[in-house]
């Protein structure tokens, strides 16, 4: 995949600049190699997983391990890891693609895969020294060994650095003795290796360690947790009692564990976004197939507008999620390429590339995980009473989706983080937010000159959504100053405006790009999905803006601001939303699957 001619934006800069559709990556841009990887994963899921779907609901942890080993045999446990360490050495988009289509299997397998390839392998790959990488990565990428990530503690969840697990250097200086208690540890029941975070003696910050799993070395596990979903994902508590860890297994630098943990979570967040996409596609396809075959009142229920509305909304959200995830993945890869060209190692470049787009990582994690939950919920509703039965895939999809809003930092934490990170980037001079705030009341958001007659209103609305965010952010900062981060309801509302703006623009640009290389007629239903998503997003932005204005501004200021925002996100000609929903649904119903 070439990124040479792309306009390169930094993380968060999408709010300040307009980018051409030619400069974003879409699923229609997959290379032949990427299509082959996608088809390999789909074939594996259809052949190996779906015929045994019910076994995953019966806490069959051995089946999860068996399937993980088969994924290892396909070479997919180390997609982005260098070939020198047993991986495939592929680009970031390809890594996202595998996470995407693995999500169509089951929540249990997708969780095992994500925990192993993300937060278990990546800390070693990105922070380990050569000896550590050569020793552990080939075993982990092949599936000979599986890894687990031990960060959360009974008193340290979102506030990860408050963990109490201790590491004391032995008298002879050859090893550390780790003692502590970790909870909610994915893959713990079959892990050969743990990435453990502990504080050395009285340090203020965490340090990372590579700890081999040996029950004779002070390591014990609780029974498997009883969970709402992901039933065959091993989740246990892990106890360390003076566990000996050689000094050479310290990961990265002393006191550097918190940075390792946070950067691993950033990667996990963007991959979690992609890791909900094929789950949505399969829920939509399953729901449509059921609706086409379920006859009531002498006709298939797919004929009814109430069902069509659900199908259309599910599809538009999935289309928007795809557009956003792959746009961001390509932007990360572009930044990685830039760092490599400036002389940084591949590992350093990957670290900095993902860190640069930490805002987008949180946006995707929140937006797609919530869309997946809504999609599964509507899937159940389309199935009606059968949807509530464990005999249908909708029930397990809904339960498995629920963890996505908690993983990798709760959605509430991520919402507050994305606004905080934007302000920090501005404070460091990495984003010219001040100038953008000053100009937000004017009509000078950069225009890239793209005009598509069928989407003229949407182009204006998306540009104006950026202006609304800047106006509202400016007024909120004017009111609260540096105390803004303590006003969580304001942050939550601002983050929703950010999310809808990013998803709306990504959807719009993908559609425009595909119109340019095909035709308006060929993209007619994609145009409708863009219209639908942007209309719905603009209504969310309008509401959240009003909430902030009414809560943060005096009566004198309120009316002018409310009028300004309403003017910016109002259509000159409102789209016929009911007709659009019906047309989108009719296309999917005729294909009997999600077909975009």
- The span from the CA of 428 to the CA of 436, in Å, is 15
Q: What is the mean pLDDT of residues 283-307?
A: 98
pLDDT, residue 450, reads 82
Q: Which domains does the chain have, with CATH numbers?
A: 147-256 (2.40.110.10), 428-591 (1.20.140.10)
- Of 153, 355, 408, 500, the catalytic one is 408
- CA-CA-CA-CA torsion sign (76, 77, 82, 85): negative
What mean pLDDT do residues 187-210 have? 97
Report residue 150 CA to chain centroid gap: 21
* 3-class state of residue 135 by DSSP: helix
Q: Could you give the CA distance from residue 225 to residue 480 in angstroms, rounded to a whole number?
A: 43
Res. 2 pLDDT band, cuts 50 70 90: very low
Predicted local distance difference test score (pLDDT) of residue 524: 97
Question: Over pLDDT 70: what percentage of the chain?
Answer: 98
> Confidence band (pLDDT; 50, 70, 90) for 1?
very low
Q: Using one digit for the tens of pLDDT, what is the confidence trace for 566-595?
A: 999 999 899 999 999 999 999 999 999 999
Q: Give the confidence band of 443 by pLDDT, cuts at 50, 70, 90.
A: low
| Burial letters 5-41, b for 16+ CB under 10 A, else e | ebeebbbbbbbbebbebebbbbbebbeeebeebbeeb
Q: How far is CA 183 from the centre of its chain?
A: 23
112/60 Cα distance (integer angstroms): 13
Distance in angstroms (rounded) separating the CA atoms of residues 226 and 318? 30
Other Cβ atoms less than 10 A from the Cβ of 82: the count is 16
Clarify whether 446 is annotated catalytic: no
* Backbone phi and psi for residue 183, each to the nearest 5 degrees, phi listed first: -125, 160
Q: Is residue 4 scored above 80 in pLDDT?
A: no
**Is residue 102 within a helix (H) or strand (E), and if so which, with residue range?**
helix 92-102
Burial of 526: CB neighbours in 10 Å, binned 0-12, 13-18, 19+:
buried
């Amino acid at each position: 995949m070439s990124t040479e001619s792309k306009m390169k934006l930094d993380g968060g800069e999408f709010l300040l600049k307009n980018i051409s559709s030619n400069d974003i990556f879409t699923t229609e841009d997959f290379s032949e190699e990427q299509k082959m990887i996608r088809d390999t994963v789909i074939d594996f899921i259809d052949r190996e997983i779906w015929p045994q779907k019910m076994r995953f609901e019966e806490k069959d942890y051995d089946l999860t391990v068996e399937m993980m080993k088969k994924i290892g045999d396909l070479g997919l446990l180390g997609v982005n890891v260098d070939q020198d360490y047993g991986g495939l050495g592929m680009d970031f988009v390809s890594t996202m693609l595998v996470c995407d289509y693995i999500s169509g299997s089951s929540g249990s397998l997708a969780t095992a895969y994500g925990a192993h390839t993300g937060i278990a392998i990546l800390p070693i790959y990105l922070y380990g020294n050569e000896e550590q990488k050569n020793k552990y990565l080939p075993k982990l990428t092949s599936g000979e060994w599986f890894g687990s990530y031990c960060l959360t503690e009974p008193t340290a969840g979102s506030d990860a650095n408050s963990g109490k697990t201790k590491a004391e250097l032995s008298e002879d200086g050859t090893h550390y003795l780790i003692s502590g208690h970790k909870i909610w540890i994915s893959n713990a029941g079959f892990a050969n290796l743990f990435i453990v975070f502990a504080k050395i003696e009285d340090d203020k910050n965490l340090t990372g360690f590579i700890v081999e799993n040996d029950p004779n070395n002070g390591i014990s596990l609780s029974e498997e947790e009883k969970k709402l979903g992901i039933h065959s994902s091993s989740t246990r508590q892990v106890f360390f009692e003076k566990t000996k860890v050689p000094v050479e297994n310290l990961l990265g630098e002393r006191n550097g564990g918190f940075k390792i943990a946070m950067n691993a979570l950033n990667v996990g967040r963007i991959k979690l976004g992609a890791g909900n996409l094929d789950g949505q596609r399969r829920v939509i396809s399953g729901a449509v197939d059921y609706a086409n075959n379920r006859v009531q009142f002498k006709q298939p229920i797919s004929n009814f507008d109430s069902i069509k509305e659900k199908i259309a909304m599910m599809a538009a959200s999935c289309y928007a999620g795809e557009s956003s995830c792959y746009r961001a993945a390509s932007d990360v890869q572009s930044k990685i390429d830039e760092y490599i060209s400036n002389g940084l190692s591949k590992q350093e470049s990957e670290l900095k590339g993902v860190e640069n787009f930490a805002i987008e990582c949180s946006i995707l994690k929140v937006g797609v995980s919530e869309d997946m939950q809504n999609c599964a919920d509507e899937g159940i509703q389309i199935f009606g009473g059968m949807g509530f039965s464990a005999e249908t895939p909708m029930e397990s999809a809904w339960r498995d989706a629920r963890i996505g809003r908690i993983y990798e930092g709760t959605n509430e934490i991520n919402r507050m983080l994305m606004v905080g990170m934007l302000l920090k980037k501005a404070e460091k001079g990495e984003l010219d937010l001040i100038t953008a705030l000053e100009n937000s009341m004017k009509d000078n958001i950069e225009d890239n000159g793209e005009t598509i007659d069928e989407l003229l209103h949407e182009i204006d609305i998306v540009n104006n959504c950026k202006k609304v965010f800047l106006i509202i952010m400016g007024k909120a900062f004017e009111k609260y100053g540096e105390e803004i981060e303590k006003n969580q309801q304001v942050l939550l509302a601002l983050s929703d405006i950010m999310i809808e703006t990013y998803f709306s623009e990504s959807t719009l640009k993908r559609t425009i790009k595909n119109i340019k290389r095909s035709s308006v007629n060929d993209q007619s239903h994609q145009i409708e999905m863009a219209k639908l998503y942007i209309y719905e997003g603009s209504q969310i932005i309008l509401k959240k803006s009003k909430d902030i204005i009414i809560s943060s501004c005096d009566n004198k200021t309120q009316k002018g601001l409310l009028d300004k925002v309403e003017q910016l996100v109002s259509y000159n000609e409102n789209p016929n939303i009911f007709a659009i929903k019906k047309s989108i649904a009719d296309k999917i119903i005729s294909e009997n699957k999600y077909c975009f």
